[in-house]
Amino acid sequence: MASHNCFCCVDGCKTIVHENVSFFRCPKNPDRCRQWKNILGFVGEHKYAELTNEEAHSRIRICCKHFDKKSFTSSGKRLLTTPVPSKLLQTLNRKLRDSQCQTTLHLSQNTPRKQSLKRKLAEAHKELKLAKMHNETTFVDVVRFLEENYEQDAINLIKNQLLLLNEAPKRARYTNEFKQFALNLFLLGPKAYTKLSKIMRLPSHSTL
């Protein structure tokens, strides 16, 4: 069990260590490590896909919310020998299948680029949540983290979204560069743009 990792590595999970829940390392055993990574979707272009067994054991932490009760010892604090993180993953997979039904749109919520952006936004939100809990962590620290891990276009998008979090939708101010980005998205597919607006701060149609 591990307790020093900042947050759960499962995509979409916002559990952080300060919420007083148990965290568990990815197994070192090659077969079990590969099984965990496959189940969690850490494959293909995912940032954890190419980690070695040792690196996965060191970096990947999964919170107890993703294991069913049968996975734990009688004390409820330790995992048995062979459990895998399966709880709630069926729900996540169902949402993924539902989004794939929208592939007729030019801009799908489920394209690899969109998935990558959503993961990066989720991680940035986690960083912001930690910043609010620790006064020593600032917006500058979050930006530094982004600059060390992501490309510039993704950094600009995430920074823009973070700055808009504290603004009411009607008071939001968008840069010309971001408006052009949003306009390009809108031209690709208005319906997809409307759907995307539900998970990101984007200018209204009239603003474009």
User: Mean pLDDT, consecutive 10-residue segments, the chain of 208 residues?
Assistant: 65 79 90 91 90 93 87 81 72 50 49 77 75 61 81 83 78 84 88 87 82
Say whether both 170 and 152 belong to one domain: yes
Instruction: Give, in order, the Cα–Cα distances in Å from 1 to each of 6, 18, 26, 60, 114.
Output: 14, 15, 10, 12, 33
13 and 49 in a single domain? The answer is: yes
User: Which residue range(s) make up the domain with 18?
Assistant: 1-71+80-100
Tokens of 107: 């801009």
Cα of first residue to Cα of last residue in the chain, in angstroms, is 50
Q: What is the pLDDT of residue 137?
A: 57
Domain count, the chain: 2
Residue 205 in domain = no
Please indicate, yes or no, whether residues 28 and 89 belong to a single structural domain of this protein: yes
For residue 142, give the amino acid letter.
Answer: V
How many whole angstroms separate alpha carbon 74 and alpha carbon 79? Answer: 10
**120 and 91 together in one domain:** no
Q: Which amino acid is at 11?
A: D
Does 146 lie in the same domain as 89? Answer: no
Give the model's pLDDT for residue 110.
59
**The pLDDT of residue 60:** 92
pLDDT at 134: 57
